[in-house]
Amino acid sequence: MLRVGIIGVGTVGASVANILRDNKNIITARAGKEIVVTLGVVSNLHKLRDVDIKLTDNIDDVLNDDSIDVVVELMGGIDKPNEIVRKALLKGKAVVTANKALLAYHRYELQELAGDIPFEFEAAVAGGIPIINALRDGLSANHIKSIQGIMNGTCNYMLTRMINDGVDYNEILKEAQDLGYAESDPTFDVGGFDAAHKLLILGSIAYGIDVKPEDILIEGIQNISKADIEFAKEFEYSIKLLGIAKKVGNEIELRVHPVLIPEDKMIAKVDGVMNGISVVGDKVGETMFYGAGAGGDATASAVVANIIDIARKGKGSPMLGFENQPGEKITLMSKDNIQTKYYLRLEVADKSGTLAKIATILGNNSISIEAMLQKPLKNGSANLLLTTHISIEKDIIKAMNELENSGVILTKPAMIRIEE
């Protein structure tokens, strides 16, 4: 028998307990032993919960119970769960967590501390999709060329509605909040931070790279306008918030931002609240993994899979995918050096000389234009929408600053990177 203590019995924690109860027969058959939740920790014992496990409000009741083999951490936050999982590991207990923020900051110290004790976190990235499993085990023969992940269902729902139904950003944000897809303070989701936490975890497994959220480029979807959506549709792009990891020589790009992506790409077809992660390996080519990225049962499905794995084989694969240091020295690519195509939206006065001035600024910064579209606006000005050939991020940023100060641009220029 494998004994489990759950710290944090909210939506996901209750689902974990209930799956282990509802699917007990098949789980026991698969795991080879019974898995029993012996204790759950909650902060408020008086709140009604849809579980039939024994509850306590004292975390030490789990940590000090020598009969508990696995601690499932589902409380959220960073410092407190970090303290708790460290205590659990020091007591020799296996740990399963869905806590992406904890891992975004402390994954390497935790791997070090865990050593031969199982520490699993399938639910931390893309909820029910077994992407950790796929990347760490299924694709382990490959150098990973790139990862493109739709890993935030809130943003994907909002962007899908904006594209399919022409709803604008503020309207759809309110709808997402009403539906419970977005928090009252939506910044963590729409600002790209949630996706960034997940991306860093995948980056570690693909490349063994140890960076923190503040080291990487993170942009949210807040500035996507109707004009951008219309341009995307006209040029057969979809707009997605992607977490992107790419290997270029010995450098790794890690970035989260909205992208224009050709609508016939498999990842561009992942709509609504669903998540999808495309992984390109040097041998396997492109693979894609699709499913529910959030929700109590889907997330708990991943947590319980980790518990079953621990019941079956104890410590399985190395926590972050590498038993030893990767052979080559890899470093994070500077944001300045990212190279891709760009889309720019420039609100311009509709008068002669404007285009020449813009073209000159772009040309002086080694940026060449691939496609262009000018659309009149109601106020007498116009939106100049253009895409560039492959350019360097620092050149684009410099050109955007120059454009903003040139006198021919009426509002701050907007930019979306293009992935092809």
| Residues that constitute the known binding site | 7-14, 100, 183
Q: Is position 133 an interface residue for a copy of itself (rule: CB under 8 A)?
A: yes
Count of CB atoms within 10 A of residue 266's CB?
A: 13
- Asked whether the beta carbons of 340 and 387 are under 8 A apart, the reply is no
- Residue 267 Cβ, how far from a copy of itself at the closest point, in Å? 10
Shortest distance in whole angstroms from residue 117 CB to a copy of itself: 14
Instruction: Give the binding-site size for a copy of itself (rule: CB under 8 A).
Output: 66
Binding residue ranges for L-homoserine:
183
Q: How far is 372 from 156, CA to CA, in rounded Å? A: 27
Instruction: Identify the H or E element spanning 302.
Output: helix 296-313
Binder to a copy of itself among 10, 76, 138, 213 (CB under 8 A)? Answer: 138
For residue 399, give the 3-state DSSP assignment.
helix
Do 232 and 128 form a contact (C-beta atoms < 8 A)?
Answer: no
Q: Which is nearer to a copy of itself, 133 or 388 (CB)?
A: 133
| 266 touches a copy of itself (CB under 8 A) | yes
Closest among 159, 94, 152 to 125, alpha carbons compared: 152
Q: Segment contacting a copy of itself (CB under 8 A): 31-39, 214-222, 348-356, 366-374?
A: 31-39
- Closest alpha carbon to 131 in 308, 243, 278, 271: 278
Smallest Cα–Cα separation from 303: which of 41, 22, 71, 49?
A: 71
- Verify binding: residue 122, a copy of itself, rule CB under 8 A: yes
d(CA 246, CA 242): 12
- Is 198 one of the annotated active-site residues of the chain? yes
56: contact with a copy of itself by CB under 8 A: no
Please answer whether residues 273 and 157 qualify as being in contact, where contact means their C-beta atoms are separated by less than 8 angstroms.
Answer: yes
Distance CA 136, CA 204 (A): 10
Interface pick for a copy of itself out of 321, 342, 344, 383 (rule CB under 8 A): 321
For residue 396 the two structure tokens come to 């684009």
138: phi then psi, degrees, rounded to nearest 5: -65, -30
Kindly tell me which of 8 and 296 has the beta carbon lying closer to a copy of itself. Answer: 296
d(CA 183, CA 219) in angstroms, rounded, equals 18
The reply on whether position 258 binds a copy of itself by CB under 8 A is no
Give CA–CA dist 12/98, Å, rounded.
9
> Which one of 93, 198, 265, 341 is the catalytic residue?
198
Residue 28 binds to a copy of itself (criterion: CB under 8 A): yes
Binding segment for a copy of itself among 124-132, 163-171, 353-361, 387-395 (CB under 8 A)? Answer: 124-132
Nearer to a copy of itself, 284 or 359 (CB): 284
Binding to a copy of itself, residues 184-223 (CB under 8 A): 208
Q: Does 179 bind a copy of itself (CB under 8 A)?
A: no
Strands 251-262 and 237-248: antiparallel
- Report DSSP state, residue 144: E
What order of strands is seen across the sheet that includes strand 2-7? 55-56, 35-41, 2-7, 70-73, 94-97, 119-120
Q: Is 156 in the site for a copy of itself (CB under 8 A)?
A: no
| Residues in binding site for NADP(+) | 7-14
- Closest approach, Cβ 325 to a copy of itself, in A, equals 6
Which residue of 39, 147, 300, 416 would you call a contact of a copy of itself, by CB under 8 A?
Answer: 300
Residue closer to a copy of itself by CB (options 315, 394) is: 315
| List 48, 249, 283, 329, residue binding a copy of itself (CB under 8 A) | 283
Question: Annotated catalytic sites, by residue?
Answer: 198
For a copy of itself, the binding residues (CB under 8 A) are: 15, 19, 23, 25-33, 122, 128-130, 133-134, 137-143, 208, 266, 269-270, 281-292, 295, 297-298, 300-305, 308-309, 312-313, 315-318, 321-328
